[in-house]
Structure 1
């Protein structure tokens, strides 16, 4: 009996993904553990392994297809001895293996819509919606029940929204960031002889542009950062930190580790300093969870890495108890995976606090947005030569500004200040990082 291969849930939050690339074709034999495809999730591009052996009978979803829902049949696998044509014919016509519950929900949705059509008053005449946004079954807009509820709550007109789901179906992600009254995005705008008058609300800016479709990672970044700024009361605390002693220690350690092929970065030492500061001030190693406050007993540091698909935060787990050489080795491996889009879920999901370092770009100081459900993130800028009081006399020192963003629901200002003080002391007296 042929086996349907379905779109997998490669992370706990994944509802849909992009089938980025097929590594097999119809007629290829596969065994359990063989890599069949690369799938772009809401966090990274991940490899999809076969769990059964057999022969690929057909490909139901072409590579490059976006918005493929978890559970959708993407290919058919024939067992040994089975006819490939018969196995391919056994695939669902629309590629989607819908459970009975899903069919019942669609039936209920259809019934509600029919009742609404019979009872609603005639609406004022309006411009017809683009044909691409309607289905072939009488013009009804295809949208999931959840998307319809969100659209209703936000006062959105579904006819102005382009669906990214299968067959143009409007899904949750399409309506979450949409604004009432916003016009559909244009593919491109060419310069005109007379500039268009700027719209007063939600309109296009008076400049040529090229629209770029958001990838899954960028959609998640937009949603989570919006959630963070709207729901988390941020408090920001900044300290100036002398780096001279840390830079000297780093140079000495790198000389002793040269034979092992290990070269510590300043960021490696800052990861350790943040973890040790959380050990000294455990009231900052927490997260706000509604009616509860989670107090963590391990320091898992999420480190911001700029990847081609967008920002991602691989995690150094138990950083407070790891040596600098181990932190450095793990960080280099994780950063490489992040840039290649090869991180596994356990390598970027979780973390008790975050570190964002923009010093390599010359940024002096900035305020970072908290990564929920965490309650703090440390933002560090560039070290630079500044006038500084040294042993009671004015001199010149290498100074770095560090700003902690704290969730004020979970962390009081005094506790955040103690953490920043502990971090400052550890960096300025760095021998505490090697014991």
Structure 2
């Protein structure tokens, strides 16, 4: 009997993905563990391996296809005892679900056409100018040139809300609204991508699922999460000295600590010391974590991924160094498993290696804080009441003000600074 290989869920939030590349072709024999395809999710581009064995008889989804739903059949295998050519005729009928994807546009067309007959039904609902509508719906209607009296409200007591305007047709505005309508398109245009300047050489690059997700999530974060930023300057000389001594001792084990490894440990220790910052805002509740899992930002082709060092507060520096080296390497190769980049109670983003002195990172919801690390550089610095030259680093914490007060954020930054300047404390 033919084996149907379906689009897998490669991340906890994945509902659909892009079949970026087939790594097999029709007629190939595969066994358990073989890589079938590269699939682009909202988090990363990952390899998809089979647990079945057989001969590939039909590839049902074309390479590069977007929006392939989780659970959709993408490939047909013939079992070991089957004639590889026999499932082919059946496979020709199998694409019906895939071809059915084309009519998905029909509901959109139908939906767009539906409001036309709806308008006469809504007309009697209007009574003069007393139309019940939310302020946002009124503003959007004015911008789009929609007559609210022709829209049926689905809110409380028939109140017109934003969602009711989704299928409304412009050009039905009252005569009185005609004048403001001329100026209204300006706000709408702000949400429409501007065309490229004429005469300038350019190319249009299609956004990956990861880049779309980054754009959506970070936009939502800045719009919905009230950020508060706190910056401290840290003298790194003691930390750099200890790092050099530890690396000499770890040389025989093939382990080399980076400054980032030590900062991960310091952040985790500071979160345990100031538990009011190791939290997550959850509407009417506040989730307080008993462990510090640090998500570390790693740049990969086409985007950013945050592998998580679980329980960093209890791990040794050598364990953190070994783990983050492995996670970052596999992240760049697209070989991380979903549980290795999902979660995290807080994040760390280090741009010091690029010479960035200071920056403010955007919180990655549902986390409530992220630490932005700048470059360590020689600066004039007061040490023991005397002006000296020290290696100084600026660190900026971004905090979700719904969950973390400024004083708690300040306490965390003070603890982080103290641990970095007295690094033996994080080893105790």
TM-score, normalised with respect to structure 1: 0.78
Q: 1:298: Cα distance to partner?
A: 0.8
CA-to-aligned-CA distance 1:90-140 (integer Å, 9 cap, x gap)? 413252688xxxx9x99988876665444458xxxxxxxxxxxxxxxxxxx
Kept in 2: contact 1:268–1:328 (CA 8 A) = yes
Residue 52 of structure 1 aligns to a residue whose secondary structure is coil
Secondary structure of the residue aligned to 1:51 is coil
Residues 9 and 15, structure 1, Cα contact 8 Å, conserved in 2:
yes
**Equivalent residue number for residue 22 of structure 1:** 22
**What residue in structure 1 maps to residue 287 of structure 2?**
294
| Cα deviation, residue 154, structure 1 | 6.4
1:46 is aligned to 46
Distance in 2 separating the partners of 1:385 and 1:155? 60
Identify which range, 386-395 or 345-354, moves more after superposition. Answer: 386-395
Q: TM-score, normalising length from structure 2? A: 0.79
SS at match of 1:237: strand
SS class of match (1:95): helix
Which secondary structure does the structure 1 equivalent of 2:5 belong to?
Answer: strand
Q: Which runs of 5+ in 2 are unaligned?
A: 121-160, 171-186
Q: Is the 8 A contact 1:155 1:180 kept in 2?
A: no
SS of alignment partner, residue 26 of structure 2: coil
Partner of 2:226: 233
SS at match of 1:381: strand
**Which of these residues, 326, 333, 353, is aligned with residue 340 of structure 1?**
333
SS at match of 2:402: coil
Return the alpha-carbon distance in structure 2 between the equivalents of residues 156 and 399 of structure 1. 58
CA distance in 2, matches of 1:25, 1:157: 47
Judge which range, 220-229 or 112-121, deviates more.
Answer: 112-121
> Which residue matches 2:146?
none
Residue-by-residue CA offset, 1:394-418 (whole Å, 9 max, x unaligned)? 2111111111110011011111111
| 2:262 is the counterpart of 1:262 | no
1:38 Cα deviation after fit: 1.4
Q: CA deviation at 1:381?
A: 0.6
Alpha carbons of structure 1 residues 308 and 86: separation in structure 2 relative to 1, 3 Å: same
**What's the secondary structure of 2:420's corresponding residue?**
helix
**Structure index of larger Rg:** 2
> How far apart in 2 are the matches of 1:108 and 1:363?
49
Contact 2:18 2:65 (C-alpha < 8 Å) held by counterparts:
yes
RMSD: 2.8
For residue 422 of structure 1, give the secondary structure of its aligned residue in structure 2.
helix
Asked whether the 8 Å contact 1:157–1:180 carries over to 2, the reply is: no
Residue 377 of structure 1 pairs with residue 380 of structure 2? no
Match of 1:85 among 85, 88, 91: 88
Q: Structure 1 stretch 223-232 or stretch 306-315: which is displaced more?
A: 306-315
The gaps in structure 1 that reach 5 residues or longer are 122-148, 159-178, 192-206
Distance 1:115 1:399, change over 3 A: closer
Q: 2:292 & 2:42 partners in 1: Cα distance?
A: 25
Aligned to 1:430: 423
Aligned ranges for residues 396-411 of structure 1 at < 5 Å?
396-411=389-404
Distance 1:72 1:393, change over 3 A: same
**Partner deviation per Cα, 1:276-312 (whole Å, 9 max, x = no partner):** 1011101100000111100001100011111112111
Q: 1:19-64: per-residue Cα shift (whole Å, max 9, x none)?
A: 1221222122233333211111111111212233332110111222
* Total equivalences in the alignment: 367
